[in-house]
Structure 1
């Protein structure tokens, strides 16, 4: 299997997982409508999905730094879908929280190992990682459409149908794992030869790359990722309600806004990889956060249909950095690629949910616009954190070493993702 095919399958599998991150926000209006939840109670569901995921994500990353766990990809994909599928079957609020939390754990388990395997298949390419990240963003984009198609027609008791993408994603990742498993760790990652203690001879591993960890830069990057996550999850949790208020539209207006938010992210992710090749990653991320400040302000304060323009700009601005965060984290922390991947790829999505109940409580006490206004500060803080960050040099093993069999054909092809 060539590198292009591996990245494509991993990207589609990523979409099948991240449907369930987008599904949480997409289900909120239906929980409110059928179960009369307050904003605070509804945002508690987002918290349930995020809390365990936020804790588990770095733990899974650290675990995969010690040993390759490729079986996590199919298992975690199914777990993520199963939790969401069951969440609509019970009227019990605590059980709903439990099922959504189970889905969050599945998503947390998926991201560190999948990012490691995508890095192997793409040979550390920014473009390859952007395509892998694009899959997740398309999953987000599909979530409101999928949830509305399933739940709006038959109510929350039709939610078991939402497990279908998980079943498909678990199957799609298997050919990639078999192909990488046949190469062996020494071929899949040349640096593993100099660090045999970090490899597992039975499965693909990134091993431990040469280079010195820049922990100070990684901490600043992680804080910027957290600020970006707070802005994005805060907006996605309440956007459907807010757009309906600002436009006077019905449920379709809110669903359309979520779709724009997630589809704009798909464009931003691909654009991020291209711009990073033209400038550099740090410059690209810094400029995108400046755009995001203006875009979020417009989303919060501009009324009427023009709000959709600012939703799209916000999405692009917040998603241009998405895949670049991952490769920057991996290069700032070359000895702990799994941990770096877990924090920058998975925690980037989940940690914002920890703040959502505060926004929900503020919205109940005041208004949605008052609750969303502080989110304008989040991309501004991310910009400040990126002002002094250096552009790291990727490990030489990803660019100088002979390409493994899984990527050989991609290197020869004019259309290679690398």
Structure 2
């Protein structure tokens, strides 16, 4: 789990660097809010919307090489996107980096599930803490390096990610030992509940709308208030860091009080916290933004475990749908809100992003209790 979580940290470090690059690329190419959000959409589409395809590949054929291969592609794509002289080429390279992120997640999450044992929410939290910490560090470190060295600093930031890819490649034979034998895998398999998975996908997509909007616009919002790009990136880092810490906190809570209960409560808090961030601001707004990170990022592991329980026959596909497709839909909505920001103002766009989680609460309350599955895939608490 430590090695898999470390790989998750590396690949999401590359992904998390993109929001930090947006203010600098906005200045370089003189972009409006919509085109700035398109950069985030590019990495979101490639890293999220295509994940179910990699998940299907993982379930049918197995593809352990995607773990190191996806990591190195993420580093190369994002690093060279930062120094590209043309905006269309930036989009192409960001798309390529996102494909690397998409390749890693379903296979990595599947083997993390194998390593989790009975405490699935806690186990997947350990896996996700790597990704969430990596995303936060990517936004912070890349922002610092680019601020000090120019956009070439992002290429330097990707060097450790490439080194980690080599380490993951050496550990591929060990990962293979985590997979259960064919007979045990069949014994641990339950029945897929596609309706429940669809409902969960709606919850995740609605939760992702404000998340991707904040990722794209928190630094630009701070700049609009008269603060520096560095101030905006620091605030973004605090939101992501709080989310990473929330992952460790909410995993054990979900194992104890139930997956669905944890998801409903956290979803209900998000709209209030976003309104506090936008209209109160200051220290209170910063704390509210950090708590948004806890409520959204902290439940990534919860929704991933639920997806595995709803689709026990297709764990790779479940990971691709919950981490990928549903999240990607939220990224598309962020571009729409970017257009609202261009047409009216950024405050309205951020405020509108608080509405979808309210609908998400309704959908979360309708989630059925997952059918229990046997052996190591059985969770401690599913209510």
Bucket of the pairwise TM-score, normalised by the shorter protein: over 0.9
What do residues 387-414 of structure 1 show as CA deviations (whole Å, max 9, x unaligned)? Answer: 02123144213158xxxxxxxxxxxxxx
Q: Find the counterpart in structure 2 of residue 282 from structure 1.
A: 260
1:184 Cα deviation after fit = 6.4
Q: Find the counterpart in structure 2 of residue 218 from structure 1.
A: 197
1:384 Cα deviation after fit = 1.0
Q: Find the counterpart in structure 2 of residue 55 from structure 1.
A: 49
1:101 matched to 2:80? The reply is no
1:348 Cα deviation after fit = 5.0
Corresponding residue to 1:83 among 77, 83, 88: 77
SS at match of 1:274: helix
1:368 matched to 2:361? The reply is no
SS at match of 2:354: helix
2: CA distance, partners of 1:281 / 1:131? 16
1: CA distance, partners of 2:81 / 2:23? 14
Corresponding residue to 1:39 among 25, 29, 33: 33
2: CA distance, partners of 1:52 / 1:321? 22
Q: Find the counterpart in structure 2 of residue 344 from structure 1.
A: 322
Moved more, 131-140 or 237-246: 237-246
Change (3 A) 1:361 1:183: closer
Gaps of 5+ in 1: 1-6, 195-208, 401-418
Give TM-score scaled by structure 2 length: 0.93
Change (3 A) 1:178 1:361: same
Q: Find the counterpart in structure 1 of residue 149 from structure 2.
A: 154
2: CA distance, partners of 1:67 / 1:258? 38
Give the conservation status (yes or no) of the 8 Å contact 1:35–1:91.
no
1:269 Cα deviation after fit = 0.9
1:192 matched to 2:185? The reply is yes
What do residues 249-280 of structure 1 show as CA deviations (whole Å, max 9, x unaligned)? Answer: 22222011101110111122111211112200
Corresponding residue to 2:59 among 56, 62, 65: 65
Give the conservation status (yes or no) of the 8 Å contact 1:285–1:320.
no
Corresponding residue to 1:377 among 331, 349, 355: 355
Q: Find the counterpart in structure 2 of residue 144 from structure 1.
A: 139
Change (3 A) 1:268 1:184: closer
Moved more, 361-370 or 175-184: 175-184
Q: Find the counterpart in structure 2 of residue 354 from structure 1.
A: 332
SS at match of 1:173: helix
1: CA distance, partners of 2:375 / 2:170? 25
Change (3 A) 1:245 1:190: farther
2: CA distance, partners of 1:345 / 1:233? 13
1:19 matched to 2:13? The reply is yes
1:301 matched to 2:279? The reply is yes
Q: CA RMSD in A?
A: 1.9
Give the conservation status (yes or no) of the 8 Å contact 1:77–1:170.
yes
Give TM-score scaled by structure 1 length: 0.86
Gaps of 5+ in 2: 379-383
2: CA distance, partners of 1:120 / 1:177? 15
What do residues 343-402 of structure 1 show as CA deviations (whole Å, max 9, x unaligned)? Answer: 1123354332212221211111111101111111122122111102123144213158xx
After TM superposition, the runs of 4+ consecutive aligned structure 1 residues lying more than 4 A away are 182-185
Decide which structure has the larger Cα Rg and report it: 1
1: CA distance, partners of 2:159 / 2:279? 39
Q: Find the counterpart in structure 1 of residue 381 from structure 2.
A: none
1:183 Cα deviation after fit = 6.2
